[in-house]
Amino acid sequence: MNKTSIFTLLLISLLFSACSTRGKRAYHKYDDSQTSSYSSNKNNHSSSMDKKTYSHPTMRPYVIRGIRYHPTVVSVGDSFSGNASWYGPTFHGKLTSNGETYNMHDMTAAHKTLPMNTIVKVTNTNNGLSTVVRVNDRGPFIATRIIDLSKSAASKINMIGPGTAPVTIEILGFRTKGSKNIPTIKELKESPQKQEIEGFALQIASFSKIEGALSTQEKYNNTDGYKTMIKDVENETGRSYKVWLKGFKSEQEARDYKENSIFENSFIVRED
């Protein structure tokens, strides 16, 4: 079987294999349009071509059962409360949302919005028992639940029998590339203390001539602390100059700003 066939099978598996309590995972097509970027300094334009790409499909917003979920900006020390559930044998050996193979004996968990590889401490508030897990999946897609633990992690806090338990979640850090094991305390201290899903922008205007784009860029640069840039886009319909307002830390931030600013007719784009 060639590489293309293997990739196709993996993609199909990701699209259609999902937990009944977590829903189907959402993936979107890549935008392969080529663009040139112009910095906020109109005299310092970049002519290099780049592609609009994404680090992984699961880091983009997705929709499950009509609800839109957004990857979250989080920092070490942030905490959340809610109910935990667990998943085990039915999904053992199947692919998780980030492309790993689910192993119910690993210390992992599914969360709706935390960035992949976030390390969290989960405490069962009924008995005070705690465990540390790494997020590598999406879910659970039930409003009253905030995290889905692996069977091994659930056993650490004595919630296998009940199936669910009230918990608190504390952000401990973020695993760097490499090992799938839970980082040591030293490694966590040396890792980034804040994880952001950056790269969202608002397209506030589009022109067929560069002069209009430059004028708009200069007019709105530094609006509420956000920077402007020009995207020089060329496709089968011709060439256009799109003005973006950038610097948003998440799609939700961009959406909230759009709804409460003078740019109500703008739309959200992803800058990469």
CATH number at residue 95: 2.40.40.10
Tell whether 102 and 207 lie within a shared domain: no
pLDDT score for 97? 86
Q: Please, what are the averages of pLDDT over each run of 10 residues along the chain (272 residues)?
A: 48 39 32 38 33 41 78 83 95 90 95 90 97 93 93 97 96 74 69 62 91 93 89 84 85 80 86 60
pLDDT score for 126? 97
Q: Where are the beta strands (DSSP E) in the chain?
A: 34-38, 45-51, 62-64, 67-69, 74-75, 79-87, 108-110, 118-124, 130-137, 145-150, 164-174, 194-195, 200-207, 227-235, 238-248, 267-270
Tell whether 96 and 174 lie within a shared domain: yes
Q: For residue 39, what are the domain limits?
A: 26-63+197-270
What does each C-alpha distance from 217 to 138, 221, 267 come to in angstroms?
38, 6, 16
pLDDT score for 32? 30
pLDDT digits (tens, 9 = 90+) for 174-215: 876 555 777 777 666 666 655 555 568 899 999 999 999 999
Residue 81 in 3-state DSSP?
Answer: strand
Tell whether 47 and 108 lie within a shared domain: no
Query: Are 103 and 138 within 8 A, CB to CB?
Result: no
Domain-embedded: residue 14 = no
Query: Are 34 and 106 within 8 A, CB to CB?
Result: no
Tell whether 155 and 84 lie within a shared domain: yes
What is the tally of structural domains in the chain?
A: 2
Last residue of a domain, one of 162, 195, 228: 195
Last residue of a domain, one of 151, 170, 195: 195
Last residue of a domain, one of 138, 167, 195: 195
pLDDT score for 225? 86
Tell whether 164 and 91 lie within a shared domain: yes
What does each C-alpha distance from 114 to 37, 71, 141, 240, 265 come to in angstroms?
30, 6, 14, 36, 30
pLDDT score for 21? 41
pLDDT digits (tens, 9 = 90+) for 128-159: 999 999 999 999 998 889 999 999 999 999 99
Domain-embedded: residue 30 = yes
Domain-embedded: residue 149 = yes
DSSP sequence for 139-185: ---STTEEEEEEHHHHHHTT-TTTSEEEEEEEEEEEPPSS--SPPPH
Tell whether 161 and 127 lie within a shared domain: yes
Query: Are 140 and 21 within 8 A, CB to CB?
Result: yes
Rg (CA), the chain: 21
Query: Are 38 and 45 within 8 A, CB to CB?
Result: yes
Q: Strand 130-137 vs strand 108-110: parallel, antiparallel, or unpaired? A: parallel
Domain-embedded: residue 1 = no
Tell whether 116 and 143 lie within a shared domain: yes
Q: Strand 34-38 vs strand 227-235: parallel, antiparallel, or unpaired? A: antiparallel
Question: Which residue shows structure tokens 């980082």?
Answer: 183
Tell whether 147 and 201 lie within a shared domain: no
pTM > 0.85: no
Tell whether 79 and 191 lie within a shared domain: yes
pLDDT score for 261? 87
